[in-house]
Amino acid sequence: MTAGPAGDTDTRTRLLRVALRLFTEHGVEGTSLQMIADALGVTKAAVYYHFKTKDEITEAVIAPGLRELEALVTRASALKRRGAQIDLLLEGFVDLVIRDRALVALFASDPSVARAVWQWNPAATDGFGQALLGVLAGPEPDTTAWVTATVMFTGIAMTGGLPNLAALDDEVLRAELLDVGRRMFGRPRRRD
C-alpha cells in the first residue's frame, strides 16, 4: 500500500514469516500474539500496529497460496479441451499441496483459516473454490460429478497434510495423489 519500492521488507515481512512458522507448528488458535511478538523481539502492541486483528494476520499469511490457486484455476479454465483442463488443475493443485504439506494441513483443519478464506475472496459469488470444483466437474455438472470433484479436492488436500503420511517422500506422495485423482476423473494413467 505504500509508495516505497521495497517499503514492505522489514518488520511486516518478518512478522508474516514468523507467523507462518508458528501457525504451522501450533495452529492458528494455538499461536498467540504474544508468541509472535516474542519471536520478533517486540511487544504485542507493535504487532497490533501492523495488523489490526489476528484474523488480518491469518489472511495475510494464507493470501499467497490462495492467489496461486486462483491463477491456476484461471489458466485451466482458459484451456479448450476438458481433459487438458483436468490434467493441468490436478497437477497444479497436487504440486501446491506437496510444496507445503504442513500449510495445507493448516488450511484444512483450522476454523480460523476457514473464516479467513471466506473473508478473503473479493470477487466471486461463492468463493473460487466453486470455480475450481466447476472446472473439475465440467460444464453443467450433475450431482455425481459435483460430489466426485468435491471428494477428490478435499481428500487430496487433507491427505497431503495428514501427520500419518508425513514420513512419505514428497515425490512419492505427489505421484500417488496425482494418480488417485486421475483415476477418479477417468484420465489415462501417466508414464513415469
Partner DNA sequence: GTCTATACCTCGATAGAC
Partner DNA sequence: GTCTATCGAGGTATAGAC
Binding a second copy by CB under 8 A: which of 110, 116, 117, 134? 110
Residue 120: contacted member of a second copy, DNA, none (CB under 5 to 8 Å, by partner type)? none
Asked if residue 27 binds a second copy (CB under 8 A), the reply is: yes
Asked if residue 77 binds a second copy (CB under 8 A), the reply is: no
Q: From residue 121, how far is each of 126, 127, 134, 158 by CA, in Å?
A: 9, 6, 16, 21
Q: Which is nearer to a second copy, 50 or 174 (CB)?
A: 174
Cell numbers given for 98 = 506437496
9, exposed or middle or buried, with CB in 10 Å at 0-12, 13-18, 19+? exposed
Nearest C-alpha neighbor of 135 from the set 190, 72, 184, 177: 72
Q: Which is nearer to DNA, 45 or 123 (CB)?
A: 45
Q: CB neighbours of 185 closer than 8 A, spacing ≥ 6?
A: 86, 90, 136, 148, 152
Cell numbers given for 127 = 468463493
> What is the pattern of x (binds DNA, CB under 7 A) and - over residues 32-71?
xxxx-x----xxxxx-xxx-xxxx----------------
Asked if residue 109 binds DNA (CB under 7 A), the reply is: no
Contact residues toward DNA (CB under 7 A) are: 2, 7, 10-11, 31-35, 37, 42-46, 48-50, 52-55
